[in-house]
């Protein structure tokens, strides 16, 4: 983290200028400062004060408070526009380096929890985390758009328990309802859209929403799910035992990893005829059951598509490294705005990575972490120039940068 921000690097400022249309002049300045601060703050709990203190020219905090608590702009619109800008940038990049244009797009839906420490935080309730157990947290239902070229967090919805929603006097929505909204809000960019989800969302409502839009789908399904195979009733775990006895599994190699795989068509009540793909990573006991309407695919093709769902876990990890959840806002609206702005910072860095490569500044596409370090190096250079060219006394400079 670089603590002394004295300006915005030119390359990043050019990207930020694309969003100028959504803000008044003072608010646009707040927007630029906030995005730069989020990129530099990293995975550290912060609030408006700590973000403001990163700058050598600190602003009156009331203006920054209003930027988060009383915005005149739509955070969803910013993230959607950033997605479109990244897709345009990707197309420019691949015009220089020809590669097949993706004809299939994927959208993965999953939720992620961000730990909170005060029960007074709006919409914070006890949610389950796979790594931390049941914790007091904000729970965001999110989606990531991805194809063979890019991955973009493009929809974020804050879940709250029925009790928390009643306290705030807002309509209660289940995670399933949020997932259905995300599917309805999707705008397809290619001929085929495949929606991915984990076992929590494997239900008739989500499947029906996919069908209504003509989207295909792949979802994890629990081992106790009941299916009908060859006219007989099985739980998936007992069906797995039967398939093992019949020697139905074959070796499939995807991205250098070996999987033992078997695909069978079954009937599921309320969903209909589907393909169940059972896969085990070789050398492990990592058994997975997948359910899909892509019944025409081979087991290799379906497994290759199914493994793409894990992109959302990679994106969650990267945006959390940028500070997703690391905030101290009490109001849920400010927390949701913060989450969108962190995801926006991730997309801005993605665009910057493509431009640095396209302009010949870098010879290879940077990782997100390397792009953050590049920005930090630029703002560090700007700070050195500011100190060198300043006509202020040493005492005045030290007071400005607050070296305590």
Question: 342-360: per-residue pLDDT in tens?
Answer: 999 999 999 999 999 999 9
**Is 251 contained in some domain?**
yes
Q: With 90 as the cut, is the pLDDT of residue 28 above it?
A: yes
Residue 263 domain flag? yes
pLDDT for residue 308 is more than 60: yes
- Integer Cα distance of 259 and 281 in angstroms: 4
In a domain? residue 300: yes
pLDDT of residue 143: 96
Average of per-residue pLDDT across 292-310: 94
Number of domains in the chain: 1
Q: Is residue 11 part of a domain?
A: no
- CA distance linking residue 116 with residue 132, whole number of Å: 13
**Can you tell me the mean pLDDT for 237-257?**
93
- 129 inside domain: yes
| Whole-structure pTM value | 0.90
Give the domain extent around 251.
75-317
The predicted pLDDT at position 174 comes to 96
> Around 327, how many Cα atoms within 13 Å sit in the side-chain half-sphere?
31
In a domain, 179, yes or no: yes
- What is the reported pLDDT for 241? 95
State the alpha helices, DSSP H only, in 97-235.
Answer: 162-168, 175-185, 204-213
Band of residue 98 on the pLDDT scale cut at 50, 70, 90: very low
Residue 394: the pLDDT is 67
Q: Is the pLDDT of residue 27 over 70?
A: yes
* CATH number reported for the structural domain that contains residue 171 in this entry: 3.90.350.10
Residues contacting 200, CB < 8 A, separation 6+:
111, 175
Q: What is the mean pLDDT of the chain?
A: 89
Domain-embedded: residue 372: no
Residue 96 has pLDDT above 60, yes or no: no
pLDDT at residue 99 is higher than 80: no
Residue 382 lies in a domain: no
What mean pLDDT comes out for the span 106-135? 91
């Amino acid at each position: 983290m670089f603590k002394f921000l004295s300006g915005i690097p030119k390359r990043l400022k050019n990207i930020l200028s694309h969003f100028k249309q959504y803000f008044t002049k003072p608010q646009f300045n707040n927007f630029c400062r906030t995005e730069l601060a989020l990129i530099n703050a990293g995975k550290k709990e912060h609030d408006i004060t700590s973000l403001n203190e990163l700058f050598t020219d600190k602003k009156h905090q009331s203006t920054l408070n209003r930027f988060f608590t009383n915005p005149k702009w739509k955070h969803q619109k910013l993230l959607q526009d950033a997605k479109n800008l990244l897709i345009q940038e990707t197309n420019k990049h691949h015009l220089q380096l020809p590669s097949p244009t993706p004809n299939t797009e994927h959208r993965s839906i999953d939720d992620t929890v961000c730990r909170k420490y005060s029960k007074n935080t709006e919409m914070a309730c006890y949610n389950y985390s796979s790594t931390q157990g049941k914790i007091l947290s904000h729970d965001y239902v999110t989606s990531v758009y991805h194809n063979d070229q890019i991955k973009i967090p493009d929809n974020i919805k804050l879940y709250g328990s029925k009790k928390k929603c009643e306290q705030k006097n807002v309509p209660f929505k289940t995670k399933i309802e949020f997932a259905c909204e995300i599917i309805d809000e999707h705008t397809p960019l290619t001929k085929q859209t495949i929606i991915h989800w984990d076992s929590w969302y494997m239900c008739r409502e989500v499947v029906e929403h996919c069908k209504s839009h003509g989207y295909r789908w792949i979802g994890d399904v629990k081992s106790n799910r009941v299916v009908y195979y060859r006219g007989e009733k099985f739980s998936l775990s007992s069906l797995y035992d039967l398939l093992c006895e019949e020697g139905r599994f074959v070796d499939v190699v995807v991205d250098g990893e070996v999987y033992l795989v078997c695909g069978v068509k079954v009937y599921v009540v309320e969903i209909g005829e589907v393909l169940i793909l059972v896969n085990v990573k070789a050398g492990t006991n990592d058994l997975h059951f997948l359910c899909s309407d892509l019944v025409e695919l081979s087991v290799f093709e379906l497994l290759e598509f199914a493994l793409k769902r894990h992109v959302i876990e990679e994106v969650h990890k990267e945006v959390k490294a940028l500070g997703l959840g690391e905030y101290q806002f009490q109001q849920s609206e400010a927390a949701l705005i913060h989450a969108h702005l962190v995801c926006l910072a991730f997309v801005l860095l993605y665009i910057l990575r493509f431009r640095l490569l396209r302009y010949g500044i870098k010879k290879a596409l940077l990782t997100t972490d390397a792009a953050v370090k590049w920005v930090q190096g630029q703002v560090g250079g700007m700070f050195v120039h500011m100190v060198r060219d300043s006509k202020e006394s040493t005492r005045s400079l030290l007071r400005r940068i607050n070296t305590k």
